[in-house]
Each structure stands twice: as structure tokens, then as C-alpha cells.
Amino acid sequence: MREIKIGGYYRHFKDGLYQVTAIAVHSETGEQMVVYQAQYGEEKTWVRPYEMFAGEVDHKKYPDVKQKYRFEEVEEPTEVNPMLVRFLDLETYRDKLELFQSWAGYEDENLFESIAASLDIGLAAGSTQDKYRQILNCLKTMEHFETDRFR
């Protein structure tokens, strides 16, 4: 069985990025469990049996998945995407919407997850373009209700 590293970053085959925070032992069964935290959205903490976390994707159930393992180790995120900084620096939803619309066709899962987190929205599972559309719809709604009354 492959080794799971405490502090390591892993990408789930359905796209979420997680950091392993501990390897625990089930008090009743003695089974090893992986404790890991989402690096997006509400940053929830999860626990999963070690064998399942380290195991391979069921390619019969998920034939389109290219990833070998359910969770594959990735390098620790170190740099902030300049596109994200540009988005975060904008003050109005109208400006954010205009910039985001200019990124149509761009596919950067991490960028979209970070933007969703900055807007305090969760993204449903799906392709990168599905996530783009979810954020776009959210920005359109936020821009629609944005007001200058209190500025």
C-alpha cells in the first residue's frame, strides 16, 4: 500500500484539493484513518479509511476518470495566481463580472476554486467549464443586486 504523508496535498479524482492533517486509529476496530481538510469552500475536515484514501479509482464505475488513485499527491501550492490577485483587487461585482467574462474558455480548476471561495460560494461537481458557468451566474446575480446607496 502506498504511503500517505501528513501535511501532504492530494487532489481527489473529482477535483477537490485536500491537505492530510493526521493519520488516526479507529478506537473500536484499530483501523487506520486519514484525516484531511478541504482547501476550498468551508475547508471542512473529513475522515476516511486509509485503504480507501490510498486506493485506486474504480474505473468501472468512473470510466472517464484518468487519475489512477482516488487521491493523488500534488505539490504544495506556493504561488498566488496573478489572475486571482487581479480579480480580488477589483472592488465592484460589475468589475469582477467583466473580468471573469473575459476568461471564457480558460480552464484553471485552482483559479475557479479560489474565486468561488472568495465569493463564499460552493461549486457543484462537474467540468471546469461547468464551474466557470456556476461562478458566472453567481457574479451576474451579485452584480444585479449590488448597489451604490451606502457608498
pLDDT digits (tens, 9 = 90+) for 28-69: 999 999 999 998 777 899 999 999 999 999 999 999 888 999
**Region of residue 9 (left: phi > 0; alpha: psi -120 to 50; beta: else):** beta
pLDDT at 106: 78
CA 96 to chain centre: 20
Detail the DSSP E strand segments found in the chain: 9-12, 17-25, 32-38, 45-49, 71-74
pLDDT at 148: 62
Q: Does pLDDT of 149 surpass 60?
A: no
The architecture that CATH gives domain 9-74 is Roll (2.30)
Going from the C-alpha of 7 to that of each of 18, 36, 140, the distances in angstroms are 10, 9, 37
Q: Name the residue ranges covered by the structural domains of the chain.
A: 9-74, 82-145
* Whether the predicted model's global pTM rises above the 0.75 cut: no
User: What residues pair up with 33 in beta bridges, in sequence order?
Assistant: 24, 49
Mean pLDDT of 104-119: 87
Q: Does pLDDT of 86 surpass 70?
A: yes
- Tell me, what amino acid is at 29? T
- Is residue 49 within 8 A of residue 32, CB to CB? The reply is yes
Q: Does pLDDT of 151 surpass 60?
A: no
Q: What is d(CA 33, CA 22) in angstroms, rounded to the nearest whole number?
A: 8
Lowest mean pLDDT among 14-18, 66-70, 130-134: 14-18
